[in-house]
Amino acid sequence: MPKPTDAGGLEVAPYRAALNRTIYLLDRDLAPVQKVRAFVKGRAILDQLDPSEVEDRARANTLTQLEGIGQSISAVVRGAYGHGPTSYLDQLEEATEIPLGLGAEIRAQLRGDCHSHSTWSDGGDDIEAMALAAKALGHDYLVATDHSARLTIAHGLSPERLGQQVAEIAELNRQLAPFQILTGMEVDILEDGRLDLPDDFLRLLDVVVASVHYKIHQNPTQMTKRLVRAVSNPNVDILGHCTNRKILSKPRKPSQFDAEVVFAACAKFNTAIEINCRPERQDPPDDLIGLALEWGCRFSIDSDAHAPGQLEWVNYGCDRAAAAGIPVEQIINTRSADDLIELCNADSP
């Protein structure tokens, strides 16, 4: 049997490989944060032990005597050493699989993902883990788009921290080539349509996603002006989750704005409309995707992943794009990294 390895191909202890996979699948399933954290904490507890002790405890079924190790974690670890069934992980694999229907052809042509978060802001894992997961999904690149400073709750990046992140990305790119992490940011669109990072910084980034995260129910006239001002900024490449609707457990009404005007501006200023693939967002709604298509807008199918397992959500967006009849050429992340960077910088001053 091959030895278990992590996403980077390095050999890891069986308990760690099994727990890593469990965490990945729970994230893929948008499982409650507390549940994911329990597994992350359990993994950290076992990391403190000698791997032979973990195996001995798995054999003797005494893992749950350790504080912080519950039945589920114990079951996964025992299964990893062949001292119990692997049913917990097997069932999770099956139950969390992300379906792919109509969008299979588009999915096969996606080269990367333009919206992702890491522990630099409110993501659950570091950029390297995100990049390795993106690579494992067949992507050639991943754009790191952590939040900007205004979103303090998400530990948004100041210009100084953004500079540190860009340096880390350069170092990681040397290790991961030919895979590429592209620099970027999910910059907040302020109340009046200005952006939460000066143009001099935005200009230096490969890809810029601009999104609204507060005052989402501003009056429609103000919201229209706000979005038009943001998407007409030459440094903005993608308009993130444009309506901010939420459709799952805690639904949220979409923002109201004149979509004709906003999408006309996106088409004119070459700002792509994001098809945000998060299951609770699925933003924009179908009618607005159709309208953006009529205006000849470009699209970007983005996971907005906050953890490696969530990168798989692009399948949802591929299905929606195919159902709407969006031609592959209009989807910017079907382009190579070089072409994407060129496209994004074509209209930057």
Residues making contact with Zn ion (CB under 5 A): 186, 211, 304
C-beta of 196: minimal distance to Zn ion in Å? Answer: 12
> Residue 126, CB half-sphere, CA atoms under 13 Å: how many?
6
Q: Are 54 and 108 in contact (CB under 8 A)?
A: no
C-beta of 130: minimal distance to Zn ion in Å? Answer: 12
Please say which residue, 144 or 266, places its beta carbon nearer to Zn ion: 144
Q: What is the DSSP string of 292-305?
A: HHHTT--EEEE--B
C-beta of 315: minimal distance to Zn ion in Å? Answer: 18
Please say which residue, 211 or 243, places its beta carbon nearer to Zn ion: 211
Please say which residue, 211 or 224, places its beta carbon nearer to Zn ion: 211
Please say which residue, 108 or 153, places its beta carbon nearer to Zn ion: 153
C-beta of 338: minimal distance to Zn ion in Å? Answer: 24
C-beta of 47: minimal distance to Zn ion in Å? Answer: 29
Instruction: Pull the structure tokens for residue 248.
Output: 């799952």
Please say which residue, 104 or 214, places its beta carbon nearer to Zn ion: 214
Q: Are 113 and 139 in contact (CB under 8 A)?
A: yes
Please say which residue, 165 or 211, places its beta carbon nearer to Zn ion: 211
Q: Find all residues with CB under 8 Å of 6, minimum gap 6, and list them.
A: 12, 16, 17, 20, 132
Q: Evaluate the CA torsion angle 237, 213, 39, 31 in order and state its sign.
A: negative
Please say which residue, 186 or 237, places its beta carbon nearer to Zn ion: 186
Strands (E), the chain: 112-113, 141-144, 180-188, 207-211, 238-239, 272-276, 299-302
**Beta bridge partner(s), residue 113:** 142
Q: How many residues does the chain have?
A: 349
Give the 3-state secondary structure of residue 122.
coil
CA distances from 214 to 150, 189, 196, 265 (A): 10, 9, 12, 22
C-beta of 283: minimal distance to Zn ion in Å? Answer: 10
C-beta of 211: minimal distance to Zn ion in Å? Answer: 4
What single-letter DSSP state applies at residue 346?
T
